[in-house]
Amino acid sequence: MKSVSLNDFINRLHIMKKNTVTMNDVAEKTGVSKTTISRIINQIPNAASKDTTEKVLKVIDELGYYPNQVAASLKRTTTRTIGLVMGDIENPFYGLVIKGVEEVVRSSGYSLILANSNYDMAAEIELCMLMLSKQVDAILVAPSGSSSCNQYAAVFERQTHLVFMDNYIPGCNVDAVMVNNFKASKEACNHLISLGHREISFIAGTPKKISSDDRTRGFLSALNEKYGSSVTPVVKNGDYTVAGGYNCMKQLLEMPEIPTAVFIANNLMTVGALGAIKDAGLRIPGDISVLGFDDMNWYSINQPSLTAIDQPAFEIGKTAARRVVMRLSHQKQPAPEIIQLDARLIVRDSTAPPRSHRITPKS
Amino acid sequence: MKSVSLNDFINRLHIMKKNTVTMNDVAEKTGVSKTTISRIINQIPNAASKDTTEKVLKVIDELGYYPNQVAASLKRTTTRTIGLVMGDIENPFYGLVIKGVEEVVRSSGYSLILANSNYDMAAEIELCMLMLSKQVDAILVAPSGSSSCNQYAAVFERQTHLVFMDNYIPGCNVDAVMVNNFKASKEACNHLISLGHREISFIAGTPKKISSDDRTRGFLSALNEKYGSSVTPVVKNGDYTVAGGYNCMKQLLEMPEIPTAVFIANNLMTVGALGAIKDAGLRIPGDISVLGFDDMNWYSINQPSLTAIDQPAFEIGKTAARRVVMRLSHQKQPAPEIIQLDARLIVRDSTAPPRSHRITPKS
DNA sequence: TCATATAATGAAATCGGTTTCGTTAAACGA
DNA sequence: TCGTTTAACGAAACCGATTTCATTATATGA
């Protein structure tokens, strides 16, 4: 019987009307007007005498009053909330970007509304609109693909502050923060070239996505500068997924002449590619060198440790958030720009000079 | 000069007062009252004639009107927003939990406010309060440690719906969703025992955190059931960090008799531990078997592939979110319960029978 | 000393929706 | 045919803050 009455008690607790102490209650109990109370809460200088302030604060404490920010937001026409739309929050790279964003956003006095688009471009826009109707002050988005700019027109019409991260939609003329993909990719490829590789294959990401295409271009550029038309680069499309990486790698390993090195455009595809190499029974870097875009915390403890391009994910998030906060606090708005941070190549053991022995694909 | 005028244009765009089409504008243009328009937007049955509805929708479309949810929330006293407080959004495990939460929350018509506590217990409470003042309808939190329940008192006073994930604060009497840590941990340890191991060490997480202690208890229980007091289990405290895992493992490898197997209480510490083993030049599983809590996508492609306990992180998030949505939609509130999902042991190559050779710690 | 600045305060309007009461007219039931 | 629903609307109150515009008292300056 005891448990029944406990349940009842809990039910009542939950159904009970929410504890709604409003500013009116404080006003009534103190005999001070809402105006003054509001000023005290918002710490307006010279708004209330020491006496009044103390009295009000005491009552606020007694009643357990805390201001309803929804009401405040309505009148202020600003919610001090920023929207964040990501393609895949599960990916540790994006996780770190989010962490960076969150840190800056919160320490600047804003909150974060998060949504996951699952790389669905239509959903992405939809989510932006939803956030706008929730009156976010600005939106940060990691665009999934290359929606043309006019798909974002609906968002622009609302004239919010918009900042892209990790990728951008061309022609949109908004701030974007990302790594210098072309440069990083070229540097990575040059590393392989400097080791003596010629037959380098590239497992690319989502086609037509700017960030992805930049990586491809960087790869091709390095190869072309060194070898011109004497080598025909092999580029496969892995769509940034583990499965995609696995399949691409498998295809590469079925070529008559297996490449001596692979460069893989992101972390998930690298996992897939490593799986395919393992399944094929090949050794890294003895049989094939492997270099991945995105560094992961386990790359250094992998056998062999993996050479990778380290994107400053945390910094990307922080920079983008700072940009947004800047736009929200300054009146003067600098022209939107594409801010490119530098990635850095971390050379480890998975890249080595090309094999001298022949490998024939099985099956 | 061209660029200057462009900048000016952009500046004006941003400074320009926000495009504020309100319901009043729609009312004026259609000659229909706000009341009816509100009803049409909220699709109240039998609220407006076909004619009126069409007319209103047309004007809404023309004006590009979209409702201000802040205003709506104020009157409704519900924001259809749920708060989410995590310890570390960078950790892929939590990333997946968040993803699960987000999916359910959004598909149920709610939005998500996300905050990262960096495992700071005081910040955790602070963030809950912040969210409450933003009038979230409920809060999901992955409690960092074992704050006593009365630290959460401030949150409870507000009578929101609160659901814990991954861990819980004893005595709080709220819903909690997590894995059966004791059972999973015991099963893992039994797996090692069944391979013949006696000298099994455990690298534990944050002490006094329930979820962590449950894992330790599970480990100890298995060991005790098998060997009683004939073995003295070695438990180190790694605090759930990579560095912690590394240090603990290093200490273990400096013991006079190195354990034949280690069981590590989470993914980050496993990375650290693997690093220490690699640095020591030991072979897995030849010299030592390794088993980690939390499965990662790269465990299967690691050399050797890693035996691990796979927590249903996505499911944890979804379950917790569903619980919250349930509480928000039903009047009748079932008693809070601790929902324990089953983790599963995935046996791979990092666990094998104990070595037969002796290893002496160097230095 | 008198005009003026400043501190300290409050009444009432406002933000942009939702909701409560009405009201009217048409449909329905007996 | 007459009372009763039900459909289709609207005026005005309301949600809980902020902000504008006054007002009063006190301090300051010339």
- pLDDT reading at B324 higher than 50: yes
- What is the pLDDT, as a whole number, of residue A15? 40
pLDDT given for residue A149 in this prediction: 79
Average pLDDT over residues A18-35: 90
List, for residues A100-139, the tens digit of each pLDDT value: 999 999 999 999 999 999 999 999 999 999 999 999 999 9
Confidence class for position B18, pLDDT limits 50, 70, 90:
low
Least confident piece of the model among A142-151, A223-232, A293-302, B228-237: A142-151
- Give the residue-averaged pLDDT of A288-296: 97
Q: Which residues of chain A does B114 touch, with a Cβ-Cβ cutoff of 8 Å?
A: 84, 98, 102, 112-114
Helix (H/G/I), strand (E/B), else coil: A219: helix
**CB nearest to B135's CB, from A70, A106, A131:** A70
Strand order in the sheet with B307-310: B234-237, B200-204, B261-264, B289-293, B307-310, B344-346
Interface test with B, best of A2, A3, A7, A14 (most B CBs within 10 A): A14
The tens digit of pLDDT for each residue in B39-63 reads 999 999 998 999 999 999 999 999 9
Chain B residues near residue A112 by CB distance under 8 angstroms:
113-115
Contact A301, B274 (CB under 8 A): yes
Contact A341, A233 (CB under 8 A): no
* CA-based torsion, B346, B348, B350, B355: positive or negative: positive
Is the link from the previous residue into A353 a cis peptide, with omega within 30 of 0? no
Q: Which domains does chain B have, with CATH numbers?
A: 2-62 (1.10.260.40), 78-179+313-342 (3.40.50.2300), 181-311 (3.40.50.2300)
Q: What are phi and psi of A285, to 5 degrees?
A: -95, 5
Cβ contact, residue pair B99, A116, below 8 Å: yes
Q: What is the pLDDT of residues B246-292, one digit of tens each?
A: 999 999 999 999 999 999 999 999 999 999 999 999 999 999 999 99
Strand D contact with A71 (CB < 7 A): yes
Mean pLDDT of all residues belonging to chain A:
92
C-beta atoms of A301 and B130 within 8 A: no
Asked if pLDDT for residue B245 goes beyond 80, the answer is yes
**Residue A196: both structure tokens together:** 């003596």
Structure tokens at B193: 């025992």
Which residues in A lie closer than 8 A to residue B163 (C-beta atoms)? none
Q: Which nucleotides of C are covered by protein (CB under 7 A)?
A: 6-20
Residues in A touching B281 (Cβ below 8 Å): none
Which of B146, B224, B215 is closest to B182 using CA atoms? B215
Residue of A nearest to B174 (CA): A10
Report yes or no: B276 and B249 within 8 Å, Cβ to Cβ.
Answer: yes
- Token pair 């996951």 is found at A116
Task: Give the pLDDT of residue A230.
Answer: 93
What tokens were used for B180?
């059966």
Residue B363 is predicted with a pLDDT of 52
* CA dist., res. A271 & res. A248, Å (int): 12
Q: Which of A70, A78, A82, A102 to mutate to test the interface with B (most CBs of B within 10 A)?
A: A70
Nearest to A271 among B71, B160, B297 (CB): B297
In this predicted structure, which of A270-279, A281-290, B166-175 has the lowest mean pLDDT? Answer: B166-175
Query: How many Cβ contacts (< 8 angstroms) between chains A and B?
Result: 189
Q: How high is the pLDDT of residue A18? A: 53
How high is the mean pLDDT of chain B? 92
CB contact under 8 A, A275 and B3: no
CA nearest neighbour of B84 among B100, B69, B73: B100
DSSP 8-state secondary structure symbol assigned to residue A330: -
Q: Is the dihedral of CA B275, B277, B282, B288 positive or negative?
A: negative
Strand arrangement of the beta sheet that strand A338-341 belongs to: A338-341, A175-179, A161-165, A138-141, A81-86, A111-116, B111-116, B81-86, B138-141, B161-165, B175-179, B338-341
Average pLDDT over residues A240-269: 97
**A47 Cβ within 7 A of any nucleic strand D atom:** no
In angstroms, what CA-CA distances link B266 with A13, A326, B133, B235, B291? Answer: 37, 39, 34, 14, 10
Q: Which residues pair with B201 in a beta bridge?
A: B234, B262
State whether A95 and B92 contact (CB < 8 Å): yes
- The letter for the amino acid at B241 is T
For A132, the closest chain B residue by CA position comes to: B68
Categorize the per-residue pLDDT at A281 as very low, low, confident or very high, splitting at 50, 70 and 90.
Answer: very high
Amino acid at B248: C
CB contact under 8 A, B303 and A278: yes
Tell me what pLDDT residue A116 has. 96
Whether the pLDDT of residue A19 is over 70: the answer is no
User: Which pLDDT band holds residue A6 (cuts at 50, 70, 90)?
Assistant: very low
A64 CA from C12 C1′ (Å) = 27
Cis before B285 (ω within 30): yes
HEC string of chain B equals CHHHHHHHHHHHHHHCCCCCCCHHHHHHHHCCCHHHHHHHHCCCCCCCCHHHHHHHHHHHHHHCCCCCHHHHHHHHCCCCEEEEEECCCCCHHHHHHHHHHHHHHHHCCCEEEEEECCCCHHHHHHHHHHHHHCCCCEEEECCCCCCCHHHHHHHHHCCCEEEEECCCCCCCCCEEEEECHHHHHHHHHHHHHHCCCCCEEEEECCCCCHHHHHHHHHHHHHHHHHHHHHCCCEEEECCCCHHHHHHHHHHHHCCCCCCCEEEECCHHHHHHHHHHHHHCCCCCCCCCEEEEECCCCCHHHCCCCCEEEECCHHHHHHHHHHHHHHHHHCCCCCCCCEEEECCEEECCCCCCCCCCCCCCCCC
Checking each nucleotide's C1' against the CA of A72, the nearest proves to be D17
On whether the CB atoms of residues A112 and B114 are closer than 8 A, the answer is yes
**pLDDT value of position B152:** 84
Distance D21 C1' – A71 CA (angstroms) = 22
Average pLDDT (A284-311) is 96
Which tokens sit at B202? Answer: 């455990």
Q: How far apart are CA A257 and CA B6, in angstroms?
A: 54
* Average pLDDT for B177-184: 98
Q: How far is A225 from chain B (nearest CA, A)?
A: 34
Which residues in chain A are contacts of B157 at CB distance < 8 A? Answer: 19, 64
Give B221: exposed, middle or buried? Use CB within 10 Å, 0-12, 13-18, 19+: middle
Contact B113 A114 (CB under 8 A): yes
Query: Which residues lie near nucleic chain C, judged by CB under 7 A?
Result: A 31-36, 39, 46-53, 71, 74-75, 77; B 20, 22-24, 34-35, 38-39, 41-42, 65, 67-68, 71-72, 74-76
Instruction: Answer yes or no: is pLDDT of A198 > 80.
Output: yes
Q: What is the pLDDT of residue A5?
A: 41
